[in-house]
Amino acid sequence: MTPDQMRDASLLELFSLEADAQTQVLSAGLLALERNPTQADQLEACMRAAHSLKGAARIVGVDAGVSVSHVMEDCLVSAQESRLYLQPEHIDALLQGTDLLMRIATPGNDVGPADIEAYVTLMERLLDPSQAPVKLTPSPSQPEPEPALVIDELPPEPEPAPPVAAEPQRQNKRMTEGGERVLRVTAERLNSLLDLSSKSLVETQRLKPYLGSLQRLKRMQSQGVRALDTLDGHLKTLDLNLEAQEALADTRRLLSEAQALLAEKTAELDEFGWQAGQRAQVLYDTALACRMRPFADVLAGQVRMVRDLGRSLGKQVRLEIEGEKTQVDRDVLEKLEAPLTHLLRNAVDHGIEMPDQRLLAGKPAEGLIRLRASHQAGLLVLELSDDGNGVDLERLRGTIVERKLSTLDTARDLSEEELLTFLFLPGFSLRDKVTEVSGRGVGLDAVQHMVRQLRGAVVLEQTAGQGSRFHLEVPLTLSVVRSLVVEVGEEAYAFPLAHIERMCDLAPDDIVQLEGRQHFWHEGRHVGLVAASQLLQRPAGQNNDETLKVVVIRERDAVYGIAVERFIGERTLVVLPLDDRLGKVQDISAGALLDDGSVVLIVDVEDMLRSVDKLLNTGRLERIARRSQQATEAPRKRVLVVDDSLTVRELQRKLLLNRGYEVAVAVDGMDGWNALRSEDFDLLITDIDMPRMDGIELVTLLRRDNRLQSLPVMVVSYKDREEDRRRGLDAGADYYLAKASFHDDALLDAVVELIGGARA
């Protein structure tokens, strides 16, 4: 390639980048002008975008771009000078020119001279009032090119300078207005960075068991010191020789030195673990933030699509968007585009009425579709609503009966919520005939399936005559998954919460035999019961409980109960993909590491349901053996909760009671000290800031008392600074938990770590 050719190639790439930015400015501005054609700021922005594209096209020698942008600029200047009032047909034509410019700037485009001539002729006729009016059919909005993956999103530049040959480095890096450099990187490198940071985060959790072991060793040594003191008391009644007395003194000294060294190293390990965990969390959050992009990225072209589709159907429709800056993982955004597009088209086609119908119903002629995006508890929550006619429930009821999905008597008793669930069945539609807009049998079931693949959920609510509302919840990122961890065959497995309908304990009498298979009654229907050990090909573990632990999973209309041996609890797991060399592992989608470093496999629920069907079809489904051996009940462990906040006190009491512990409460340090001296407890949980006696004084007194000094102590405080943690641990606490990061699992996990389960 010659230097001139290299220069031209670089300029064409820069022209394509500029066209991408400027056509976005044009699209947004023209849609705003359609609502208010005299907005001076939008007219100015659109005119300058067209003018910049004309200059850029002239520099790189793209004559077609010059011609199209020139007639668009003439139209916009006429509107600025009040020689032309923009009508819908002008907006249609300008949007058509915007699409044409993007096609011209895209390598390998199919734009020919005839296309350019036809468009220029169209614009000239629109600008000449003596010509007959031109009636346009809105052209379908062009798909936006996939945005480049960048670290930190740049704001759109409304007026970039024409590209010049002296700055080819813009293909690799750009500068924000504030001077911050932004680099383009590959998705693979970001994925690798996120994977390494997630493993680092998990690895820091492996320090917890070691710290717990040291704390238990410290308590055992304290008990050893007390035992030695007791022995010393007994030996004083004997006449020991000097050598025996010296040996006893040496033993006490060595134990004391070992205790001091152990306390020092335990404190150092705790501090190192806390700091390592903090840094690993920051590293993971930063790596994850590099993959996050604003929700607006998935909306490129959607406002235009709604507008064009509405006009093609003879409807006036406006799309309002809230939460465009909400940050979401790029992979999630890509997978959300298809279901959102389907729901938006569905709202325009099925939801919004014709203008005359809306006016008769007392509504504005223009229909409104509103899309909101927000963060809630680690999820991206989307609400898509319209002010249309809503779902005709009686018509829906009739369609259900007509298609023999339910009997007439049963359909009459179905609630609104139950009726709306039929809309998510495969192939179900209220449309009498197939159209280009309504689709070809791909309905809300496809939307639900795509959302489920994201480990999310979608719900439809509606009010007849007032519109419908779709509520979607999906994870902010696919790199973590909230799961229920269970035990099967003495190994841990995780079920993503998105696929779990409920967890339950079944008594032997709850399990019935129907047609040779085991079932139980769930929400008005018999649900098949299957052993997880058979599905996962694990040996059936011993189950001496009186009840059977069951996870009820659902995928579309398939519902089954999966019997497991034990519920370990809910966990947020960092997803670790399986090695490609393993291929597809049956019933498993990925792996993860628990806090103690042990491996947990994440269940592929869709695959597992297929395995269930296969077992049913081949008649190889095994019965679940029930063991109801009555074990001797061990005494329950006792916990004292000391906190001056009634809310915190009651929350902790209920959590511990539900887990099987006996719980006593005290309202402040003095009340707690009196309880400790008069009763026996296995664990003390205390706040720090309390009236009469604070938590530090309480722990200090406890550690000085011969009977209580080995009692495990957990501090739960609003203070999470390093000096606050150090102060609590130096006073003698074994565990420090900040209320700011407090949640059910954190408290209960810490209790189990300190004293084990509820039974002695």
Task: For residue 439, name the pLDDT band (cuts at 50, 70, 90).
Answer: very low
Q: Which of 90, 186, 189 is nearest to 138 (CA)?
A: 90
pLDDT category at 57 given cuts 50, 70, 90 is: confident
Residue 94 confidence class, pLDDT cut points 50, 70, 90: very high
What integer is the mean pLDDT of 486-494? 90
* Residue 15 maps to a domain: yes
Residue 159 lies in a domain: no
- 319 shares a domain with 467: yes
Q: What is the pLDDT of residues 597-635, one digit of tens each?
A: 678 899 988 888 888 887 776 666 777 765 544 444 568
Asked if the structure places residue 760 within a domain, the reply is no
**Residue 612 included in any domain:** yes
Residues whose CB is less than 8 angstroms from the CB of residue 283 and which lie 6 or more positions away in sequence, other chains included: 197, 200, 201
Residue 551 lies in a domain: yes
pLDDT of residue 7: 43
**What is the band of 162 on the pLDDT scale with cuts at 50, 70, 90?**
very low
Given a contact cutoff of 8 angstroms between Cβ atoms, the answer to whether 384 and 322 are in contact is no
pLDDT reported for residue 146: 38
Residue 544 pLDDT: 63
Instruction: Classify each residue of 511-546 as buried b or exposed e, where b means 16 or more C-beta atoms within 10 Å of its C-beta.
Output: beeeeeebbbebeeeebbbbbbbbbbebebeebeee
Q: Is there a single domain that holds both residue 346 and residue 433?
A: yes
* Same domain as 441, residue 373: yes
Domain range holding 226?
A: 189-292
Per DSSP, the residues of 44-66 read: HHHHHHHHHHHHHHHHHT-HHHH
- Which of 472, 501, 531 lies at the terminal end of a domain, its last residue? 472
Q: How confident is the model at residue 495 (pLDDT cuts 50, 70, 90)?
A: very high
Q: Is the pTM of this model over 0.85?
A: no
Helix (H) or strand (E) holding 569: strand 566-574
Report pLDDT for 430.
64
DSSP 23-36: HHHHHHHHHHHHH-
Give pLDDT, residue 639: 95
Domain boundary among 445, 472, 499: 472
Residue 629 lies in a domain: no
Flag the least confident range among 27-31, 43-47, 574-578, 616-620. 616-620
Angle at 723 (CA atoms; ends 717, 724), nearest 5 degrees: 15
> What's the confidence (pLDDT) of residue 148?
37
Same domain membership, residue 250 and residue 178: no
Q: Which residue would you say has higher pLDDT here, 47 or 197?
A: 47
**Torsion of the alpha carbons at 419, 423, 427 and 428, rounded to the nearest 10:** 50
Question: Do 364 and 338 lie in a common domain?
Answer: yes
Residues 555 and 673 grouped into a single domain: no
Domain boundary among 292, 321, 351: 292
Task: Give the chain's domain count.
Answer: 6
Q: Mean per-residue pLDDT for 7-20?
A: 72
How confident is the model at residue 741, as a pLDDT? Answer: 59
Average pLDDT, the chain: 80
Q: Establish if 623 belongs to a structural domain.
A: no
Least confident piece of the model among 286-290, 486-490, 604-608:
286-290
Q: What digits encode the pLDDT tens for the residues 165-202? A: 333 333 344 444 545 566 777 777 877 887 788 778 77
Instruction: State mean pLDDT over 98-112.
Output: 85
The residue among 49, 45, 47 whose CA lies nearest residue 19 is: 49
Residues 560-577 have a mean pLDDT of 86
Does residue 48 form part of some domain? yes
Q: Is 356 helix (H, G, I), strand (E, B) or coil?
A: helix
Beta strands in 451-565 (DSSP E): 457-463, 467-475, 480-488, 491-496, 500-506, 512-514, 517-522, 525-531, 548-555, 558-564
**276 and 305 fall within a common domain:** no
- Residue 543 pLDDT more than 80? no
CATH number at residue 66: 1.20.120.160
Single out the residue of 100, 40, 38 nearest to residue 66, CA to CA. Answer: 100
Q: The domain spanning residue 394 has which CATH number?
A: 3.30.565.10
* Shared-domain flag, residues 43 and 57: yes
CATH of the domain at 735: 3.40.50.2300
Shared domain for 700 and 664, answered yes or no, is yes
Q: How many CA atoms does the CB half-sphere of 111 hold within 13 Å? A: 22
Residue 181 and residue 193 in one domain: no
Residue 194 and residue 181 share a domain? no
**Cα Rg, the chain, nearest whole Å:** 34
CATH of the domain at 585: 2.40.50.180
| β-sheet bridge partners, residue 574 | 480
| 123-134 residue pLDDT tens | 988 887 655 445
| Residues of the chain above pLDDT 90, percent | 18
Q: Do 547 and 644 belong together in one domain?
A: no
Cβ 337 vs Cβ 301: under 8 Å: no
